[in-house]
Amino acid sequence: MAGRRRVSRAGPALTLSPVLALFMVLAVLAGCGGRPAPDTASADVRRLLATRAAAVLDRDEPAYLTTAATEAERDEARTEFESLRPLPLTSWSYRLTGLHRTGDRATAAAELRYRLRGYDTAPVTAARALRLTRADGRWYVTSDEPAEKTGEQLWEQGAVGVVRGEHSLVLGVGQTDRALRRYATLADRAVPAVSGTWGTDWAGRVVVLVPRSLKGMAALLGASASGYRGIAAVTTGEAGHSAAAPADRIIVNPEAYGVLGDVGRQVVLSHETTHVATRAHTTPATPLWLSEGYADWVGYRGTGRTAGQAAPELEEAVRAGRVPDGLPDDDDFGFAGDAGRLARAYEGGWLACRMIADRWGETPLNAFYRAVGDHGKRSGAVEEALRDVLHTTPEAFTAQWRDYLRASLH
């Protein structure tokens, strides 16, 4: 009947305590959406890194600075930005691979991927470790450093100078423009010389990195400086890579390189350029005596240096009656080992390649190198190439090489 109030017979009214009432309200609120609100930190950090990457590509310093929270951090970000601004970049991006959050702070693992215009056909990938902080509802980058056990990038060592040669791109820190141009001149000579010997089935251009010091070189390699003292340059790259790959980097030790004469400097850059050219055919099947020996053979080719001038350590050993029993093995090429042993390993590999060029010819030497690398695995690679290309055996080749040492270094 309208206007009548229905009376419940369920019992007396229930009085809730304030604590229980609050609990029920929170439970209802939490259940309104069916599940707790998701943590958006990962998506927010991805957007932050995308902003940072776009700022680098657009040369937009103000946008880059918005990724840092405090004035001190913005000053540091400004320095970072100015250091890498001169790089001729065609791409720059981050891929978030891990995130650990504790309140308003987080650590992130990411892959930095970038390409140098005209040189990298695929991105260089560098593992990065970032520290992040959250303020006013936004995430900011506190620090962006190399991941553990990885090398620095050149711009982390200071402002980058850039010189473009005809066949080369030279990037340096703490170097004058004139000094970088000298490197470019030598690299521009090396590229056509290597192509004239090896062939033109490679990019025909090189990237040279010149840090401030030996310490800077080691930092780029993620290694100890003591292991590279006296080493004028090294080449980094992926053995046996495809055509779509980052360009190899020739990394110079300016301290060791600086004490060389003009011929020595050209030999070093021609040697390293040879590694770039032969990379697609240099695989785990290739012994170091062949890869290093061939690079030295190209480097010394046309310099007029005699065997004794180019192989003084091995000459001394041979004249003392200590002719090596066999070709150098990979362990002989350790940078951190005995310097004399290392020198004799390089010299022995060079003379082995020189012997092939002298007795079989330059074309068979190139064919031998390719056959060894294209074998794919170490076991049987040299033996089969000796048989199929040079029509000899390992025993006969080694005996010829030992005789060649005696004849060349007497």
pLDDT (0 to 100) of residue 334: 85
Q: What is the pTM of this model?
A: 0.87
Query: Which H or E run contains 373?
Result: helix 362-374
pLDDT (0 to 100) of residue 240: 53
Q: How many residues does the chain have?
A: 410
- Residue that has been written with the tokens 């009656």 in this structure: 321
DSSP 8-state class, residue 389: I
Is residue 131 within 8 Å of residue 121, measured between CB atoms? no
pLDDT (0 to 100) of residue 354: 98
Angle between the N-to-C axes of helices 262-278 and 177-198, in degrees from 0 to 180, rounded to the nearest 10: 60
**Pairing status of strand 206-210 against strand 249-252:** parallel
Amino acid at 353: C
- Residue that has been written with the tokens 């001169």 in this structure: 86
Is residue 222 within 8 Å of residue 146, measured between CB atoms? yes
In sequence order, the β-bridge partners of residue 399 are: none
- Residues 205, 184: Cα–Cα separation, whole Å: 11
Q: Environment class of residue 10 by beta-carbon count within 10 Å: exposed (0-12), middle (13-18) or buried (19+)?
A: exposed
> Which pLDDT tens digits describe the chain residue by residue (410 residues)?
433 333 333 343 334 444 444 443 334 444 444 454 457 999 999 999 999 999 999 999 999 999 999 999 999 999 999 999 999 999 999 999 999 999 999 999 999 999 999 999 999 999 999 999 999 999 999 999 999 999 999 999 999 999 999 999 999 999 999 999 999 999 999 999 999 999 999 999 999 999 999 999 999 999 999 889 889 999 998 655 555 668 899 999 999 999 999 999 999 999 999 999 999 999 999 999 999 999 999 999 999 999 999 999 999 999 999 999 999 999 999 877 688 999 999 999 999 999 999 999 999 999 999 999 999 899 999 999 999 999 999 999 999 999 999 999 98
Residue ranges of the domains in the chain?
41-150, 154-279, 283-410
- Residues 180, 183: Cα–Cα separation, whole Å: 5
* CATH ID of 154-279, from 3.40.50.1100, 3.40.50.10420, 3.30.2010.30, 3.40.50.2000: 3.30.2010.30
For 267, half-sphere exposure in the C-beta direction (CA atoms, 13 angstrom radius) is 20
DSSP string, 102-152: ETTEEEEEEEEEEEETTT-SS-EEEEEEEEEEEETTEEEEEEEEEPTT-PP
- Cβ contacts of 62 within 8 Å, gap of 6 or more: none
Is residue 49 within 8 Å of residue 64, measured between CB atoms? no
Architecture of domain 41-150 in this structure: Roll (3.10)
